[in-house]
Amino acid sequence: MADEPRLPDLPAYLDAALALVDLPLEPELRPRVLLHLGLAAAMAGEVMTFPLSDEAEPAPVYQP
């Protein structure tokens, strides 16, 4: 089995997730949305690989 990480199947994910949230997307715009989703995935890669403790609080703290 190859060691390199598998690239996520962004087109399949996009189609399934858009169906879940009930949003229309015409075929002509789909490549552009995939471009932005790919960009977000790259950004998320930076965010998710930064080590944070289990106790780290999100910035907005609810005040009842």
Partner 1 sequence: MSAAPEYATATALTIARAVQDGRTTARAVTEAALARITALDSSLNAFTAVTAARARAEADAVDAARAAGRPLGPLAGVPYAVKNLFDLQGLPTLAGSRINRDHPPAARDAALVERFHAAGAVCLGALNMGEYAYDFTGENVHDGASRNPHDLGHMSGGSSGGSGAAVGGRLVPLALGSDTNGSIRVPSSFCGIFGIKPTYGRLSRARSFPFVASFDHLGPFARTVADLACAYDALLGPDPDDAACTDRPAEPVSARLDEGAAGLRIAVLGGWFAQLGTPAAYGAVAKAAAALGATRTVELPEVGRARASAYIITMAEGAALHLERLRRHPLDFDPAVRERLLAGAVLPAAWVVRAQKFRRWFRDAAHALFADWDVLIAPATPVVAPLSGQQTFVLDGREMLVRPNIGIYTQPISFIGLPVVAAPIPGEGKLPIAVQLIAAPWREDAAFRAAAALEAAGVAFAPEPAV
Kindly state the tokens that stand for 64. Answer: 């009842």
Site for partner 1 in 4-63 (CB under 8 A): 13-14, 17-18, 21-26, 29, 32-37, 39-40, 43-44, 46-48, 50, 52, 56-60
Q: Helix, strand, coil: what percent of the chain each, to 5? A: 50, 0, 50
The CA angle 47-49-53, to the nearest 5 degrees, is 90
If one asks whether residue 64 binds partner 1 (CB under 8 A), the answer comes out as: no
Instruction: Please give the residue ranges that form the binding site for partner 1 (CB under 8 A).
Output: 13-14, 17-18, 21-26, 29, 32-37, 39-40, 43-44, 46-48, 50, 52, 56-60
